[in-house]
């Protein structure tokens, strides 16, 4: 339903103008293209035909679609709104469901025929992403025919994935019903012998490390014993010097205990504790203190923001626009 007119605002146009926003549409069948992105690309290709997708596709639009994938979730749920799989954990955006759908099950046309269901599982927590689930029909072969060689870029050929993600079928498991979330079967498989060897040196140092850091006190060095010169010395002048230093020590110690109360008062005057937060405009709630992490002239500056989780601009329960710099001292 999105016509060109509804995407007129400059921010949206600059969003659409970035080629990186269009990567998914290149993979997907044309009927699943984002209408705003497709409209924008239409405008672009009329300006310069060399950028047009149709140039690289020698055949008809249908032929091009045959080489593209199908977004399994959108195939099953064409009209589902606010279906997100990733939320910014720093701003608590999951609480207001202000997220992105960036985890996909992309299937070929033949696999799409075997697709019984595909859904996201936003109710499953434990990550800033949620699981994405596809259910295939029973008869689908879980492994490729043995005579079919692996593609050169297959994950199974990469040493980083030696013990996991070896085959797409490692992600698949028999369906046990909606109640039970399927476990990734890759974890149940024992790692290959080559990886076991690599893991062993990592496991062995652990007990030693535990012994070393058994308690907090183990981080503190014992005081070096007093120089032996003083104790066995027969010379009375040395003994006298040692006695003086002893008495000096005890005097300073006792004075420290007698002034402990006033000292803590002095510290309290010096360290007033955290600044009292201002209240946000939208909700009248105590603001949160943040620090600019981005490189630039404001890096390291602190500011106050609304304590609520981030959400869409229309959501009154989500973070309001309160933003206050902390004055430089």
Site string for Zn ion, 56-85 (x = CB under 5 A): ------------------------------
| Binding residue count for Zn ion, defined by CB under 5 A | 5
Residues 296-325 that bind Zn ion (CB under 5 A): 306, 320
CB of 276 to Zn ion, least distance (A): 17
Nearer to Zn ion, 136 or 280 (CB): 280
Nearer to Zn ion, 169 or 312 (CB): 312
Nearer to Zn ion, 29 or 93 (CB): 93
Residues 117-146 that bind Zn ion (CB under 5 A): none
CB of 27 to Zn ion, least distance (A): 40
Nearer to Zn ion, 91 or 114 (CB): 91
Length of the chain: 329
Q: In which residue are the tokens 């923001």 written?
A: 305
CB of 290 to Zn ion, least distance (A): 14
CB of 289 to Zn ion, least distance (A): 14
CB of 322 to Zn ion, least distance (A): 5
| Count of beta carbons in the 10 Å neighbourhood of residue 32 | 18
Nearer to Zn ion, 91 or 165 (CB): 91
CB of 100 to Zn ion, least distance (A): 23
Residues 256-295 that bind Zn ion (CB under 5 A): 280, 282-283
Q: What is the 3-state secondary structure (H, E, C) of the chain?
A: CCCHHHHCCHHHHHHHHCHHHHHHHHHECHHHCCHHHHHHHHHHHHHCHHHCHHHCCCCCHHHHHHCCEEEHHHHHCCCCCCCCCEECCCCCHHHHCCEECCCCCEECHHHHCCEEEEEECCCCCCCCECCEEEEECCCCCCCCCCCCCCCCCCHHHCHHHCCCCCCHHHHCCCCCCCCCCCCCHHHHCCCCHHHHHHHHHHHCHHHHHHHHCCCHHHHCCCCCCCCCCCCCCCCHHHHHHHHHHHHHHHHHHHHHHHCHHHHHHHHHHHCCCCCCCCECCCCCCECEEEECCCCCCCCCCEEEECCCCCCCCCCCCCCCCCEEECCCC
According to the annotation, is 321 in a ligand binding site? no
Nearer to Zn ion, 231 or 286 (CB): 286
Site string for Zn ion, 17-36 (x = CB under 5 A): --------------------
Nearer to Zn ion, 73 or 304 (CB): 304
According to the annotation, is 129 in a ligand binding site? yes
- Axis crossing angle, helix 260-270 with helix 236-258, rounded to the nearest 10: 60
CB of 312 to Zn ion, least distance (A): 14
Give the integer Cα–Cα distance in Å for 77 and 74. Answer: 5
Residues in binding site for Mg(2+) = 128-129
What is the contact surface with Zn ion in residues (CB under 5 A)?
280, 282-283, 306, 320
Residues in binding site = 128-129
């Amino acid at each position: 339903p999105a016509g060109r007119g509804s995407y007129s605002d400059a921010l949206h146009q600059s969003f659409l103008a970035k080629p990186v926003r269009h990567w998914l549409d290149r993979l997907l069948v044309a009927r699943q293209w984002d209408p705003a992105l497709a409209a924008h690309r239409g405008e672009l290709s009329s300006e310069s035909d060399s950028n047009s997708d149709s140039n690289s596709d020698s055949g008809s639009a249908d032929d091009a679609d045959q080489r593209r994938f199908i977004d399994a979730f959108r195939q099953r749920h064409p009209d589902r709104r606010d279906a997100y799989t990733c939320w910014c954990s720093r701003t608590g955006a999951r609480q207001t469901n202000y997220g992105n759908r960036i985890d996909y099950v992309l299937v070929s046309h033949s696999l799409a025929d075997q697709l019984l269901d595909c859904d996201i599982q936003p109710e499953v927590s434990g990550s800033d992403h949620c699981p994405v689930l596809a259910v295939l029909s029973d008869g689908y072969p879980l492994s490729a025919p043995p005579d079919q060689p692996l593609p050169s870029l297959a994950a199974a050929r990469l040493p980083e994935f030696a013990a996991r993600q070896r085959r797409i079928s490692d992600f698949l498991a028999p369906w046990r019903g909606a109640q039970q979330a399927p476990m990734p079967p890759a974890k149940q498989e024992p790692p290959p012998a080559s990886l076991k060897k690599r893991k062993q040196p990592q496991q062995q140092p652990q007990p030693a490390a535990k012994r070393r850091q058994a308690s907090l006190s183990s981080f503190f060095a014992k005081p070096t014993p007093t120089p032996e010169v003083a104790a066995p010395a027969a010379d009375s002048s040395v003994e006298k010097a040692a006695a003086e230093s002893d008495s000096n020590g005890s005097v300073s110690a006792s004075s420290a205990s007698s002034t402990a109360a006033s000292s803590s008062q002095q510290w309290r005057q010096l360290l007033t504790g955290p600044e009292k937060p201002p209240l946000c405009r939208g909700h009248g709630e105590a603001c949160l203190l943040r620090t600019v992490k981005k490189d630039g002239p404001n890096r390291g500056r602190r500011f106050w923001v609304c304590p609520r989780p981030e959400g869409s601009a229309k959501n009154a329960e989500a973070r309001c626009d309160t933003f206050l710099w902390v004055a430089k001292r």
